[in-house]
Amino acid sequence: MSGDNSNPISPTGRSSFNQERTRVAAGDDALMDGVRSKDQAAMAEIFDRYAGLVYSISLRVLNDQGYAEDVMQQIFFEVWERPQSFVPGRGSLAGWLSVVARNRAIDHLRRGKPSDSIDEVVLPAQSNLSVEAERRLMMEKVRTRLELLPKDQQESLELAFFEGLSHSEIAAQTGIPLGTIKTRIRSALHLLREAVQA
Amino acid sequence: MTDSIHISLEDLTLYAMQALSSAERVPIRLHLAECEICRAELAAVSGDLALMAMSAEQHALPEGARDRFLTRIGAAATPANKIVEIDAYPAGPKPQTRRVQSWIPWTAAAALLVIAAGLGSLLYRTRLDLQHETALTSAQTDESRRAREVLEVLTSRDAQRVVLTAGTPHPVPTARAIYLASRGALVLQANNLAPIEAGKTYELWIIPANGSAPIPAGLFRPDAAGSASVVMPQIPVGVQAKAFGVTIENAAGSSAPTLPIVLVGAVPSAGE
Ligand SMILES: [Zn+2]
């Protein structure tokens, strides 16, 4: 038993704790800096934070675990290879990855119809979606608002967003006029934005 | 400029959703290239789409997904990646990768994990420590020394092994600490931890047997699967521990534990 328990933390101990704190507090921007300098641990941390989110979105679109994982793997691999695709300050990494995940999954669904490369997705600066608790709260609001939409409006939005149907395909499938579909989708999304900002 | 020459919100939305034909896309693309107002609007619409995307029901990753990713980016120290995956996704169907609820395999698993840390593939913390340890020895030597030390702790007959559990029986967060007082060496692996809110962290404490104040032994946050580890925090050597505890603190950590203690485990008495 050592006799120095009156001062249990050695100076080296303190500095180590501070470093630990640096790691815990590392924001997405710091991690992406790490990725840009090819730090695999930083990339692993990004993966741990968002792979589940990206996978879940792809799975919602593709309804197939294997394909959904392929899309997810490819997106994170591209982040690793081309981290400059994501421009910090242009919006949250979580939001960007979410839109890219949806778009890539839709591309996969429509095989052969290429779309924008991932770097074209630009998001507004917004609240901190990197914090899981905040994200969850926000999603609660979004889901609640979605459920409140009239059924046919909800359906138009989901068909366009998760099924990747074009507005003309939705019109053909539902018998609703093109213009109405456009308006419904637009206003539904706007209601979601309001629900989150409320 | 009047509104009529900008792109309607409806069309911008469909454009962002890739729901327009390529013929329909071209004029929009051309306009966007020149119009800052519409670019800003498009960004706002993309923000709405991010919300919509994130509303998808969340699922756990398929077994092995993390391993496959790390291998792909070349962080391949294979055994360690396997272990991390086992910790994060315990429910897999394959018996040979299922997490075994006994001490020996866990110890072996932790040892492998720690070896990988020595190789610099996984544990950020090790790396950070090294960055700050100025050139007494080369980083290389230091890392392998550290790995060796950790391995010795994990395999030492003298090490105390403690299971920490929550007071309630149900969602069963657990943590296992392996502690070797004579070396001031400690490894903790936690599973099924509840997610932690922004600005907070879990903090591990050594509760000394002599009744002196709890000693902070590292901060950690669970990953999406609820797993976390603390490996070799710098703690004083020779402190006999009565117990280990985990509390929730502000993100910067605390020098004294804030109640309640969310996980606690007593050190078994000598001979156990
Ligand atoms: Zn315009």
pLDDT top residue among A8 and B150: B150
Domain ranges within chain A, ordered by starting residue:
1-128, 131-198
Is residue B216 helix, strand or coil? strand
CA distance A32 to chain B (A): 14
Model confidence at B153: pLDDT above 90? no
Give the span between the Cα atoms of B19 and B200, in whole angstroms: 41
Q: For residue A182, is pLDDT > 80?
A: yes
Cβ pair A2:B52 closer than 8 A: no
At position A99, the amino acid (one-letter code) is: V
With a cut of 90, say whether residue B160 has pLDDT above it.
Answer: no
Q: How confident is the model at residue B151 (pLDDT cuts 50, 70, 90)?
A: low
CB contact under 8 A, B56 and A56: yes
Beta carbons of B48 and A192 less than 8 angstroms apart: yes
CB–CB of B45/A189 below 8 Å? Answer: yes
Q: Is the pLDDT of residue A131 over 80?
A: no
Verify whether the Cβ–Cβ distance A143 to B55 is below 8 Å: yes
* Whether the predicted pLDDT of B69 surpasses 70: yes
Higher per-residue confidence, B220 vs B99: B220
Alpha carbons A59 and A154: distance in angstroms, whole number? 19
Q: Is the pLDDT of residue A20 over 70?
A: no
Task: State the architecture of A1-128 in CATH terms.
Answer: Orthogonal Bundle (1.10)
**What pTM value is reported for the model?**
0.53
Interval between CA A189 and ligand 1 midpoint (Å): 20
Is B18's CB within 8 Å of A17's CB?
no
**Three-state DSSP class for residue A122:** coil
Distance from residue B16's CA to the centre of ligand 1 (Å): 15
pLDDT cut 90: percent of chain A above it: 48
- Which residue in A has a C-alpha nearest to residue B223's C-alpha? A48
Q: Let me know: does B181 contact B238? Beta carbons within 8 Å.
A: yes
Q: Which helix (H) or strand (E) holds A20?
A: helix A11-25
pLDDT band of residue A70 (cuts 50, 70, 90) is very high
CA of A115 to the centre of ligand 1 (A): 22
Contact B49 A186 (CB under 8 A): no
CA A118 to mean position of chain CA atoms = 13
User: Cα(A96) to centroid of ligand 1, in Å?
Assistant: 23
Chain A to chain B, count of Cβ pairs less than 8 Å apart?
257
**All residues at 6 or more sequence positions from B105 whose CB lies less than 8 Å from its CB, including other chains:** none
Yes or no, beta carbons of A9 and B208 under 8 Å apart:
no
SS3 B204: strand
Q: Is A116 exposed, middle or buried (0-12, 13-18, 19+ CB in 10 A)?
A: middle
Q: Beta strands of chain B (E only): which ranges?
A: 160-165, 174-180, 185-191, 200-208, 215-220, 228-231, 241-250, 261-266
Domains in chain B with CATH codes: 1-89+97-143 (no CATH), 174-266 (2.60.40.10)
Q: Are A138 and A53 in contact (CB under 8 A)?
A: no
The pLDDT assigned to B4 comes to 58
Q: Model confidence at B2, in pLDDT bands (50, 70, 90)? A: very low
Average pLDDT over residues B177-182: 75
**Shortest CA gap B234–chain A (Å):** 5
Q: Which residues contact B36 (CB under 8 A, 6 or more apart)?
A: none
C-alpha B267/C-alpha B272 separation (Å) is 10
| Amino acid B206: pLDDT | 87
Least Cα distance to B241 among B270, B271, B272 occurs for B270
Asked whether the beta carbons of A133 and A165 are under 8 A apart, the reply is no
Confidence of residue A120 (pLDDT cuts 50, 70, 90): low
Chain B CA closest to residue A170: B19
Q: How far apart are the first and last CA of chain A?
A: 58
Q: pLDDT-derived band of residue B134, with 50, 70 and 90 as boundaries?
A: very low
Residues of A in contact with B198 (CB under 8 A): 128, 131-134
A interface test, pick of B46, B113, B125, B248 with most A CB neighbours within 10 Å: B46
Report the residue of chain A nearest B131, measured CA to CA: A19
At A160, give phi and psi (nearest 5°). Answer: -70, -40
> Residue B65 and residue A69: Cβ atoms within 8 Å?
yes
Residue A20: its chain B contacts at CB < 8 A?
A: 125, 128, 218-219, 233, 253
- H/E segment holding residue B61: none
Q: Which of A36, A34, A31 lies closest to A83, judged by CA?
A: A36
Q: Strand B241-250 vs strand B200-208: parallel, antiparallel, or unpaired?
A: antiparallel
* Entry field: residues in chain B: 272
Percentage of chain B surpassing pLDDT 90? 17
Pair of tokens at residue A198: 């409320």
How close is the Cα of B39 to the center of ligand 1, in Å?
Answer: 7
Assign domain A131-198 to its CATH architecture: Orthogonal Bundle (1.10)
Looking up tokens 């539902």 gives: A174
Please determine, for residue A16, whether its predicted confidence score (pLDDT) is greater than 60. Answer: no
Rounded to the nearest integer, the mean pLDDT of chain A is 80
